[in-house]
């Protein structure tokens, strides 16, 4: 628990940078699982700073983003492809072919094959080394809404109404928020070697309490992280305020 989200974000960026540097020294690649939304933006800003000022290189880093709205064109204002490019990828030296983000442009009949391949690619690269997560007010991680089981993998899902309301301002009205998304599953997330979940602000305090101190239940998919043996939760004071 950190006083503010800036220090907390710098800490998370340091953890990621340490992994990248260690692997580079060993001559090995590393695999990052990445999230979008407001929570990780300062982590990405700090990684960009480390790249520009300290020479942190992403040449041997592979990334897999958790999710993307469906349908979604990559150049749309709300696209997670665009988000990642603007916040991270355009500013670092990662080869483009090492970046993976669920494809919101696929025809429906191609989605399930794409999802299977997404899992396969992660496995072939040796699995995710660090999975970065935010948490939604429904308790979602990725877009695994209530009802998502611990055996869920990358798939097309229906967004919860609370999640669509939370996204409404990005889309200039709830009616414009897509009803579906492609997301990595709870099972995909639990397979990561290390998980770092972050939350900032008092708006997240109630769901953080449920996820960490409540029963493990598919009604709060983030509560399955209690079963992971290498999961770190990084909070600011406000997000931790309801914890015992």
Return the residue of 22, 38, 161, 226 that touches ligand F6R, per CB under 6 A: 38
Considering the rule CB under 6 A, would residue 67 count as an interface residue with ligand F6R?
yes
Minimum CB–partner distance for residue 55 and ligand F6R (Å):
28
Minimum CB–partner distance for residue 185 and ligand F6R (Å):
12
Considering the rule CB under 6 A, would residue 141 count as an interface residue with ligand F6R?
yes
Minimum CB–partner distance for residue 34 and ligand F6R (Å):
8
Return the residue of 39, 63, 148, 188 that touches ligand F6R, per CB under 6 A: 39
Candidates 113, 145, 174, 213; catalytic one: 145
145 an active-site residue? yes
Using an 8 Å Cβ cutoff, are 228 and 195 in contact?
yes
Using an 8 Å Cβ cutoff, are 115 and 182 in contact?
yes
Residue 129 makes CB contacts below 8 A (sequence gap 6+) with 19, 23, 30, 31, 32, 192, 193, 194
Q: 52: burial class by Cβ within 10 Å (0-12, 13-18, 19+)?
A: exposed
**Which residue ranges make up the site for ligand F6R (CB under 6 A)?**
35-39, 66-67, 134-136, 140-143
Q: Which residues carry out catalysis? A: 145
């Amino acid at each position: 628990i950190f006083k503010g989200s800036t220090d907390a974000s710098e800490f998370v960026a340091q953890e990621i940078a340490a992994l990248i540097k260690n692997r580079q020294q060993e001559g090995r690649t590393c695999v990052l699982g990445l999230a979008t939304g407001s929570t990780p933006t300062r982590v990405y800003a700090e990684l960009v700073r480390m790249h520009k000022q300290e020479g942190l290189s992403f040449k041997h880093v592979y990334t897999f983003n958790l999710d993307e709205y469906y349908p979604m064109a990559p150049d749309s204002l709300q696209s997670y492809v665009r988000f990642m490019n603007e916040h991270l990828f355009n500013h670092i030296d990662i080869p483009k072919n090492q970046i993976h983000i669920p494809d919101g442009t696929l025809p429906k009949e191609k989605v399930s094959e794409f999802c299977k391949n997404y899992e396969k690619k992660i496995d072939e690269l040796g699995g995710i080394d660090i999975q970065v997560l935010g948490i939604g007010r429904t308790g979602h991680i990725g877009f695994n809404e209530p009802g998502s089981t611990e055996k869920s993998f990358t798939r097309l899902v229906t967004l919860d109404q609370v999640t669509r309301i939370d996204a409404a301002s990005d889309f200039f009205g709830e009616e414009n928020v897509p009803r579906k998304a492609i997301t990595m599953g709870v099972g995909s997330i639990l397979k990561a070697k290390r998980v770092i979940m972050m939350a900032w602000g008092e708006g997240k305090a109630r769901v953080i309490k449920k996820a960490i101190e409540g029963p493990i239940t598919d009604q709060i998919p983030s509560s399955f992280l209690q079963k992971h043996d290498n999961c770190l939760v990084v909070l600011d004071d406000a997000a931790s305020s309801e914890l015992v």
